[in-house]
Amino acid sequence: MNEIEKAKATLRDAGYFVDNLWHVDDVKSRYEGCDDDDAQEVLDRALTNEGTMGQIWFAIEFAIDEIKNGEEEQ
């Protein structure tokens, strides 16, 4: 197990969801000339904006309702 997988396992054991992480390379592949610092800023803005956060909370509530109602995962 490499260091990243160990770090993910540690976070998962502490209750964090780590199966959907974004990397600076995801941004840099779409933003020519972008460096790591700029990519981190893009990720911060994209992942913490009000619209994104609202959609995540909506999706969490939706998933809770599905599980409570015994609905199968699609």
- Could you report the per-residue pLDDT of 15-66, keeping only the tens digit for each? 999 999 999 999 999 999 999 999 999 999 999 999 999 999 999 999 999 9
The answer to whether position 33 is within a domain reads yes
The answer to whether position 15 is within a domain reads no
The answer to whether position 47 is within a domain reads yes
CA 19, 20, 21, 24 torsion-angle sign: positive
Q: Indicate the pTM of the whole model.
A: 0.79
Number of domains in the chain: 1
Name the residue range of residue 30's domain.
Answer: 22-74
Q: Are 18 and 8 in contact (CB under 8 A)?
A: yes
The answer to whether position 34 is within a domain reads yes
